[in-house]
A = this chain, B = another copy of it.
Amino acid sequence: MSHYLTDYETMLHQRGFRVTHQRRMILDAVCEGDGHTTFDAIYARVQARCPTVSQATVYRALHFFVKMHLVVSADINGEQVYEIATSRHHHHLICRGCGWVGNLDDAHLRDLSAHLLREHGFRADVDHLVITGLCPECQATTE
């Protein structure tokens, strides 16, 4: 993680932005998540370490990181979630029964996105697709 941190700090410096104590904590809090961290979870983690950090700062930092492409956000069932951006594209399976989160490699969507580009001229955002459904356990218990 440390050389990754160095990279992003250098990048921010080069662009004239500042690396603050708060931003470091907030980015750490995003990294600690399993991949889909809600605002509340991030805010709680930050608060645990530094109770004076305000919600406004967390909101602003998250927007900032998204704009800097260090974090990606998605909307799952009306709730905004955040995840550290990685170079490898992958997608998520979300169980609407129990909240289980699974990963889906980009490879399985290559054909689809190729089709969309060829037939519709549509360039799909393939970096963070969310597919909801039911995991094996939740299929057993009829909703």
Which residues of A are interface residues toward B (Cβ below 8 A)? Answer: 75, 77-78, 80, 93, 95-96, 102, 104, 108-109, 111-112, 115-116, 120-125, 129, 131-136, 139
Contacts and interface: CB of A to CB of B under 8 A. Distances in A.
Given A75-B78, A108-B112, A133 B125 contact: yes
A132 B124 contact: yes
A96 B123 CA distance: 11
A140 to B, nearest CB: 11
A69 to B, nearest CB: 12
Nearest to A136: B121
The A interface, classified by DSSP as helix, strand, loop or mixed, is: mixed
B121 A135 contact: yes
A56 B129 CA distance: 32
A141 to B, nearest CB: 13
A122 B108 contact: no
B109 A122 contact: no
Given A104-B116, A112-B108, A132 B123 contact: no
A86 B93 CA distance: 24
A55 to B, nearest CB: 18
